[in-house]
Structure 1
Amino acid sequence: MAESIHDVQHRISSTKATRQITAAMHMVSTAKLNKIQKHTAGYQEYVSKIKSVVMRLSQSQLFDNSSNKLQADRPVKKTAYLVITSDRGMVGSYNSSVLREANEFIDKQTPNPDDYMILAVGGTGADFYKNRGINVAYEYRGVSDVPEFNEVREIVKTVTTMFDNEIFDELYVCYNHFVNRITSSFRGEKTLPVDRETLAGEAVSETPTSNLANDYETEPSAQEVLDSILPQYAESLVYGAILDAKTAEHASSSNAMQSATDNADDLISDLQLHYNRARQAAITTEITEITGGQEALKN
């Protein structure tokens, strides 16, 4: 019985140590979540404005007469899917949810594996597709907890160059959208080419298209305006998706660590009850043995 009590004590100590780790990780994840939410709030204003400008331009003849490479309208021979996951574990069901939903989305959009490629942001997604023999044409690991815009420039430059070189003909971005601290939802958004079909899914509510004019005066020229604004638009979509995905990742990590901490508390409580019962049983046995010894001496 003494050995059993010792084992229970060891399990209680181990669980308490684990609880300290999960509680600390919960605090860290919550701090990261708060930080990225503040960072994202300021960026949303920029995104809203640039989307509004592009939406207005899409209603004009400038858009139709443009020769910008990001608007290239060609037959779709190869589709690329930019799948955003995390680089690490201990984020609850975040990665499994993204990959499951992304696979369903890809199967629906492009059933033949030979007709698509994966562009992976995050080590979990890259490893997942590589292990299954799926073509991972590009991968980016080590995205910061609160990614800065300059980090995304490398990703966007690579993606747009691949599109310009006709390595793929259209691009979808797949990620988990942050709804609130408890909930996230999958999104699969078409990003390239930048055409009216793509922009229809990115419509800005505060931009009433019915009131838009069809003609604009441009300086220095219509083509130069679009050559400047469309890359910024593509950057904003990819950067916004990565920020959104990172926010959902931190929320999932915070929830997972909170659940682990709560489970540890429950387990410690159960083990403590088991320990007290075992200790009481050991004491009762000792008293019985002493009493029995005393009675034996009397006889």
Structure 2
Amino acid sequence: MVSTSKLNQIQKHTKTYQVYASKIRNVITHLAASHLLDDVEAPETVEEGEVNSLAMLQQRSVKKTGLVVITSDRGLVGSYNSNVIKQTMNLISKNHHSKDDVEIIAIGGTGADFFKKRGYDIVYEYRELGDVPTFREVRPIVRAILKMFESEKFDELFVCYNHFVNSLTSTFRGEQMLPISAENLGSEGLSDTNDSGYNLEYDTEPSEDAILEVILPQYAESLLYGAMLDAKTSEHASSSTAMRSASDNADDIIAGLELQYNRARQSAITTEITEITGAQAALE
């Protein structure tokens, strides 16, 4: 009941947020299609403590790969954690990465503990994510990730989590978050433009760099926040299913034990009656 209540609560929140996330992705996709993201150079210096947003567009030769792995802090969630971890390990193996080539950003204690035990480098760890994550929780995480990417801690970043399909089904997703490019954005929302045969162009005010400095962090925050909401929705659904199965199994065990108890009690009563009858017959 608790897990189902949390699931209903986060689904309402996720449904409304997905509209915003879809719109911000479409804006970035259109800007990429108009080549506004091409040949943008990040400033060499930024104010201390500030994040260089334009660094998110930097294409570098990949020496290290960052993985944001979103798992739960607790168990009793069925196959939720095991599926995320298994598919993440498959992703690492598929890309021929070794432990030295991967930097793990662990959101959730289960994933953090798993990769720590196996000798992976955990560059960032966040535990006790809320049942319905707030946007305020995500901002410092995104800020830390952008700082690490800017300082070349890793050269590309993927977000690994379970996508909620329905209350019984979830699928693994490994989405590239950084660097932002037209290739990893895809062509969502561009079908009408492509069919028209016209090239996309934008007039920007005050400048292209100023526009990108505002919208790129919003896109990164929306992608990571959306992934956390999606992952938490899947977690609550898995928890609800697991708890329902556990309750059903407990009922079956109780019913079986009651049957055994009644049989044992009946056998004991029958034995006592037999002994009393035998003793009475002996006295006669």
TM-score by shorter chain over 0.5: yes
Is 2:76 the counterpart of 1:90?
A: yes
Match of 1:69 in 2: 55
Is 2:16 the counterpart of 1:30?
A: no
* Deviation per residue, 1:222-281 (Å, 9 max, x gap): 111111111111111111111111011001100110000000111111111111111111
Aligned length: 270
**Which residue identity lines up with residue 172 of structure 2 in the other structure?**
F
**Which residue identity lines up with residue 49 of structure 1 in the other structure?**
K
Q: Which has the higher helix share?
A: 1
Q: What secondary structure is seen at the aligned counterpart in 2 of 1:40?
A: helix
Instruction: Give the counterpart of 1:191 among 177, 184, 190.
Output: 177
Instruction: Give the counterpart of 2:22 among 39, 48, 55.
Output: 48
Identity across the alignment (%): 59
CA contact (8 A) 1:177 1:248 kept: yes
Match of 1:57 in 2: 31
CA contact (8 A) 2:109 2:127 kept: yes
Q: CA deviation at 1:140?
A: 0.7
Separation in 2 of the partners of 1:234 and 1:207? 24
Separation in 2 of the partners of 1:179 and 1:106? 24
Separation in 2 of the partners of 1:206 and 1:34? 33
* Deviation per residue, 1:26-84 (Å, 9 max, x gap): x1000000000000011011011101111110011322142321100111111111111
Change (3 A) 1:62 1:206: closer
Match of 2:50 in 1: none
CA contact (8 A) 2:67 2:159 kept: yes
Q: What secondary structure is seen at the aligned counterpart in 1 of 2:123?
A: strand
Match of 2:47 in 1: none
CA contact (8 A) 2:104 2:121 kept: yes
* Deviation per residue, 1:77-110 (Å, 9 max, x gap): 1111111100111111111111011101111124
Change (3 A) 1:206 1:214: closer
Aligned-pair Cα RMSD in Å: 1.3
Separation in 2 of the partners of 1:61 and 1:103? 35
CA contact (8 A) 2:92 2:98 kept: no
Separation in 2 of the partners of 1:234 and 1:209? 24
CA contact (8 A) 2:160 2:173 kept: yes
* Deviation per residue, 1:171-214 (Å, 9 max, x gap): 011111111000111111111000112112xx424753404642
Separation in 2 of the partners of 1:222 and 1:264? 62
Match of 1:281 in 2: 267
TM-score (norm 1): 0.87
Is 2:81 the counterpart of 1:107?
A: no
Match of 2:159 in 1: 173
**Which residue identity lines up with residue 66 of structure 2 in the other structure?**
A
Change (3 A) 1:189 1:209: farther
Separation in 2 of the partners of 1:117 and 1:185? 23
| Relative contact order, higher structure (CA 8 A, sep 6+) | 1
CA contact (8 A) 1:110 1:116 kept: no
Q: CA deviation at 1:216?
A: 1.0
5+ residue gaps, structure 2, are 42-53
Q: What secondary structure is seen at the aligned counterpart in 1 of 2:37?
A: helix
Q: CA deviation at 1:111?
A: 2.6
Separation in 1 of the partners of 2:60 and 2:191? 29
**Which residue identity lines up with residue 77 of structure 1 in the other structure?**
K
Separation in 1 of the partners of 2:57 and 2:192? 23
Match of 2:208 in 1: 222
Separation in 2 of the partners of 1:130 and 1:189? 23
Q: Which runs of 4+ in 1 moved over 4 A?
A: none
**Which residue identity lines up with residue 155 of structure 1 in the other structure?**
I
TM-score (norm 2): 0.92
State how 1:137-148 maps to structure 2 within 5 Å: 137-148=123-134
Match of 1:270 in 2: 256
Separation in 1 of the partners of 2:244 and 2:283? 58
Separation in 2 of the partners of 1:110 and 1:227? 34
